[in-house]
Amino acid sequence: MTADTIEPEEYASDPAERRREQRGWYFYDFACSVYSTSVLTVFLGPYLTSVARAAADADGFVHPLGIPVRAGSLFAYAVSASIVVAVLVMPLVGAAADRTGRKKPLLAASAYLGAAATAGMFFLAGDRYLLGAFLLIVANASLSVSMVLYNAYLPQIAQPDERDAVSSRGWAFGYTSGALVLVLNLVLYSGHDSFGLTEGEAVRICLASAGVWWGAFTLVPLRRLRDRQVRPEGAERAGEGAVGSGWGQLRATLKDMRRHPLTLSFLLAYLIYNDGIQTVISQASIYGSEELKLDQTTLITAVLLVQVLAVAGALGMGRLARTHGAKRTILGSLAVWTLILAAGYFLPAESPVFFYWLAAAIGLVMGGSQALSRSLFSHLVPRGKEAEYFSAYEMSDRGLSWLGPLVFGLAYQLTGSYRDAIISLVIFFVVGFALLARVPVRRAVEAAGNPVPERI
């Protein structure tokens, strides 16, 4: 056992040490959420679309690798491509983390690769749409890989009855940092003339600063979190600890997950409804700018409103879960998501007030639905297989969320209407709700060999 490797029994007996690790864990959300907010949700979609349109032919198409792509669909397709890359890498990383017990070096590598790609977006100018798509793919895939490792710490730093609260606080930290940086972005973007910058230069600085922020605050969890060597069931298999056996371990993990069909049932439901959530988050700024004809300042302010209310929403839904259980609270949030999309379809163009009301509703349910899904899944993971199972979870969280952006992009490509694209996402919430409602979560926790919390 190395100096910063401890057994779970040691951490559980020391509440002060557990709280110290939890506070360090929160800071990775604080670090990387700025990418999700400033880059993916606000600036990169409209900016990369404008760069692609500058390179487009007379019919509005660009031709990456000789394939005709409508410039307005490039961003959605690049998001889908990044997720495909993540799908190929995440299971290998999860298996390696569980075999070696060394999550931190892998977390550091994926976090700093993503941060560097994000900082490199400063050079996205002119008609460099291919550079923009490439950096987006690298940054988004790196974020997904790092989240596998980050989420896998949750069962090891929080006792079962703490996890809803700890997970919700992590999301709250992330939304707090997103709001703080968005305020700074708004000042820079709105006053770019007074800073001697063009609008494009201001956007590129906002993009790059998210990478710097991500890298800087990642140092906190890397100092606070501790690696644990938990011997999983079946660890006596030959080749344990070999990174090169990742694909073999993936096959073993999938085979093992068949022994936990209720866990798989939850993952399927989460895969569906979270695909809708992730697509709404990543495509909202495109919808606002292109279909509703809202300016960038309005979009930034709306996303800032989302971030502020998401802090209250994540904490508030965490409290609701203590009374009504995580499953019922998540189901309620999915019903609200469906109403949000229906309202979004009918929003009038050039009406910022209505867009702000919609943003407020999104903020109140977004953080809670994701935080509670993470904590609920943590109860369904067999001990010692956290990173492997959370790699499957992350596939559902980001890794298999390629279908939503693809549907959104295809809907626009075929109809030329972002309203048709946004309403097409309702199916993800309706189907996800139906699947989650059928999962007996108490039996699922028992089947995974974990203690069942009083409320779940």
The tens digit of pLDDT for each residue in 263-301 reads 889 988 988 998 898 888 778 878 888 889 888 788 888
Q: Is the per-residue pLDDT at 108 higher than 60?
A: yes
Q: Kindly state the percentage of the chain with pLDDT values over 90.
A: 31
Which one is predicted more confidently, 29 or 387? 29
What pLDDT does 200 receive? 93
Q: What is the mean pLDDT of residues 357-380?
A: 87
**Burial code of 148-160, b = ≥16 C-beta within 10 A, e = fewer?**
bbbbbbbbbbbeb
Task: Determine the longest span between alpha carbons in the chain, in angstroms.
Answer: 67
- The predicted model gives 103-110 an average pLDDT of 93
Mean pLDDT, residues 205-216: 97
DSSP 452: P
**pLDDT higher at 437 or 412:** 437
Match 């941060």 to its residue by tokens: 115
Distance CA 2, CA 420 (A): 55
Length reported for the chain: 456
SS3 at position 292: coil
Q: What is the pLDDT of residue 402?
A: 67
Q: What is the pLDDT of residues 55-81, one digit of tens each?
A: 888 888 888 888 888 888 888 889 888
Nearest CA to 149 out of 199, 112, 198 is that of 112
Any idea of the CA torsion for 100, 104, 110, 114, to the nearest 10 degrees?
A: 170
Q: What is the pLDDT of residues 135-156, one digit of tens each?
A: 999 999 999 899 888 988 888 8
Give helix then strand counts, H and E, for the chain.
20, 2
pLDDT value, residue 398: 57
Question: CA-CA distance, 80 to 279, in Å (whole number)?
Answer: 10
pTM passes above 0.75: no
